Amino acid sequence: MLSLLPLMQSAEAHQLRPAIVNLEFTQNGLVKVHIQTNLESLIAGIGSNHDDTDDSPQAERYNQLRALSSKQLSSEFELVAEATISQFNLAFDSIKSDLSFVKLGIPEIGNLNNSRLSDLYLLALIPPAKQQTDQSVNQYVTWQYPQHFGNNIAHFFYDKTPLEKTSHWLTKGATSPKFELNTAYVAKPFSQVAVEYTILGFEHIVPKGTDHILFVLGLFLLSVRLRPLLLQITAFTLAHSITLGLTIYGAISLSPSVIEPLIALSIVAVGVENIFVKELKTRRVVIVFLFGLLHGMGFAGVLSGLGLPESDFLTALIFFNLGVEAGQLAVIATAFLLVFWLLKNPQRYRQWVVIPTSILISLIGILWTYERVFL
């Protein structure tokens, strides 16, 4: 019996194992496809019609590939990668999706009597739902591995529940049964992403962003004339847009334990300056810009907590920022409507509105600074 082991191992080495295909659906709107397969047989084109590689007309080519180093085999695959990947069929509601190459993992040469399994990683976008108004409509996903690439076992699962897999043994190029995609994983249409993140941005100012509201009110109180107000708002918007984008993209990072107290201090600074300064100075615009950089990092912290869909990352980022701007304009418009009747008398406006409100803003900022540092 023991004398048969070498023969059994040799036979095993030449038999084609089914490819293992893992299809992971993520809530970022992506499908991560991981194919563990005999890459040499894939390149040589030895399919399920051959139980043993030695029975194939491509046997010589296959054996040549098996003797290559991982780097050499990777170079061989690069020559056929596009044509190979295009033959995999990942379909949503019978519509084929484009698969993109991510990376390739090839072990170094071991015992040539044993086949080596390589790892091919691909990526696809989950297409938007066809009917955004009817959330009950689900998408169906199918997978098909070409017959001339061999048999495969396909596992469908979600990133949140990787142990709960739906698996199918697929032979002779069969298409998998339909896998119903959870609506939480269906990518949203552009218009829906734009509306949702605009609302999120607006709500982060009104009513949730009390610290940002007080800062914007501080900018408004110094002068309600258009030019000074426009210069301050432009500096603030430009600054927070810069750090919002850089922080979200991971280019810069600062701990919330540092950012939040500094944002509170920015409210104090603007309020105090309003008490002692009557008109816009260049220094004020520079200070507003610097404080805007801090507020942008604060916005980024909120947006990171909400989560940005990878498939619509830039869209969500842009429209969240637009929502923030809309919220700021709403604060300014409301403030103007409350005090416009006093604007004909600048001295009274300053005594009745600017100074007392700025004192109150500063006191609140001091309280928040204390809470964020010590509590």
Q: At CB < 8 A and 24+ separation, what contacts does 133-139 make?
A: 135/183, 136/183, 138/180, 138/181, 138/182, 138/183, 138/186, 139/92, 139/93, 139/180, 139/181, 139/186
What per-residue confidence (pLDDT) applies to 8?
33
pLDDT in tens, 328-359: 999 999 999 998 888 888 889 999 999 999 99
Q: Is the pTM of this model over 0.95?
A: no
What per-residue confidence (pLDDT) applies to 56?
63
List phi, psi (to 5°) of 276. -105, -15
What is the domain partition of the chain in residue ranges?
A: 14-185, 190-374
What per-residue confidence (pLDDT) applies to 181?
87
Mean pLDDT across the chain: 84
The pLDDT-based confidence of 191 (bands split at 50, 70, 90) is confident
Find the mean pLDDT for residues 132-161.
81
